[in-house]
Amino acid sequence: MSENTLYKEYVQLSHKAADLNNASAVLGWDQEVYMPPKGAAFRGQQLATLASMAHEIATGPRMGRLLKDLTHDESLTDLQRANVHRSLDDYEKNSKLPSDFVESLSRQTSECFNAWLDARKLNDFKVFAPSLEKMVALKREQANLYGYEVHPYDALLDEYEKGMTVATLDKVFEGIKRELPPILDKIRSAAQVNDAFFYRHYPKGAQWDFSMDVLRKMGYDLDAGRQDISEHPFTTSFAPTDVRVTTRVSEDNFASLLWSSIHEGGHALYEQGLPEAEYGLPLGAAASLGIHESQSRLWENCVGRGQQFWNQFFPILKGYFPEQLADVTATDFFKACNKVEPSFIRTEADEVTYHFHVLIRYELEKAILDGSLDVNGLPSAWNELYNKYLGITPPDYVRGVIQDVHWSHGMFGYFPTYTLGSFYGVQFFAKAKQEIAGLEQQIEHGEFASLLAWLREKVHRHGRRYTSEELCKQITGEGLNFSYFKNYIQDKYAKVYNITF
């Protein structure tokens, strides 16, 4: 059998595993969007079956032999070699998980998600706790199966951000604890901006239509995607030609839908920009969750919360809500979008306090995994940390410990990527402004094609060819640098609050 044929067989096997995973993703999307309540039990079984089948293909002996043979094939192109090396890393890691464990984890994810939904409806953590305890036990087992040198959290972090460790993240969050409080204190000393008009009544249908206008303008291809409603906003991709987003609506809080749609739209643009020719292969997947978050946070914050964006979109928004916004200007709206104030809900937090929300989850996840905190102690620990870092105490569970969907999906290690992604996004946007002439003027005219093309070229087309840090250095000439974020928020909030730093 020729080496070229070996690569083709590797691609075919990878496609089979991807097809099963994407079929599972369709069922997962349906579970969160349209599935009737009574479908939960069998849906868990169906998802577990598909997960086990995909795992068996991806970690089977034939895939292992193909990858080892292909690593010695000097005829491969650079891109083919990159696919093989990334796949071999995945194979060696995933082979540590027995198929029955993968199936059990999938079943528990379905059970845990449905328990989370019930807990939110009843505003009662105790409804969620038993399922979450089982999930935590499985995640500890997974960390042990993967293996780690220092902290069990390291093993799970690596799933989302290759090579990331607690030691590195501790330094990142120590910097946040050192650098952000003085900025927050300076803002708090200024006169607070008015965002009361966000809480007037905004009918759901008009909010939805405006969000669709924004998504289209951003470049989201609705022939290759759609937007729906879910309990917690998310993006899911079955291929670059089918990438879906969800959002949630509150008729008495305009910000709830808007930022969710823009944020998820940023994720979707990344997925739609991945190379179709690399479907099912590492170079057809996102570089990391941190880089994925860089795309959503760039669109949500650097673009969507900018003055130029609202100079374009506020007149359009006012057309949808003439009565609600009769006494509001574009500058008023821009400032309200950037109001800094400690709040309970992470997804609706401002750009400064947001990172304390992430820090809190990071500290809790470490403690849960190393056993220094048990599941039943989560609500009180959560409230204590909110009081410590933000000076507020959540009034109930929905605005507290059960607000996020992540733990129900077993996604321990995901939350830090939100902060890493925010910092990468700001650094990338600073470079884009240098390289795209008149970018801010284009945004002011509702023109995003140049920015999207730049992101396609610099980020999307590479897939997983580079690590986050390698990609950052390639784009900006240096690794992740917190000073970009610090300068960005100081510049923005000087304008919002009429202060100097």
Q: Are 287 and 293 in contact (CB under 8 A)?
A: no
Place of tokens 């890393």: 89
What does the DSSP assignment read for 90-143?
HHHHHTTS-HHHHHHHHHHHHHHHHHHHHHHHHT-HHHHHHHHHHHHHHHHHHH
> What percentage of the chain's residues is helix, strand, coil (to nearest 5)?
70, 5, 30
**Spatial CA neighbour of 219 closest among 459, 449, 454, 441:** 449
d(C-alpha 483, C-alpha 107), whole Å? 43
- Supply φ then ψ for residue 15, to 5 degrees: -65, -40
**Spatial CA neighbour of 461 closest among 283, 224, 248, 323:** 283
Instruction: Kindly list the distances between the CA atom of residue 301 and the CA atoms of 65, 139, 297, 485, 498, in Å, as whole numbers in the listed order.
Output: 46, 32, 6, 11, 19
d(C-alpha 262, C-alpha 227), whole Å? 11
| Cβ burial, residue 456 (10 Å; 0-12/13-18/19+) | middle
Instruction: Kindly list the distances between the CA atom of residue 494 and the CA atoms of 187, 240, 340, 427, in Å, as whole numbers in the listed order.
Output: 9, 40, 12, 19
Tell me, letter by letter, the H, E, C secondary structure of 340-382: CCCCCCHHHCCCCCHHHHHHHHHHHHHHHHHCCCCHHHHHHHH
**Quick check: helix, strand or coil at residue 245?**
strand
The β-bridge partners of 48 are: none
Continuous segment of H or E residues that includes residue 247: strand 242-247
Residue 179 is a catalytic residue: no
Q: Which of 32, 111, 161, 264 is catalytic?
A: 264
- Helical axes 40-58 vs 3-33, angle rounded to 10°: 170
130: which residues sit within 8 A by CB, 6+ positions away?
A: 115
> How far does the chain reach from its first CA to its final CA, in angstroms?
67
Residue 263 is which amino acid? H
**Spatial CA neighbour of 310 closest among 296, 325, 297:** 325
| Cβ burial, residue 410 (10 Å; 0-12/13-18/19+) | buried
**Residues recognised as catalytic:** 264
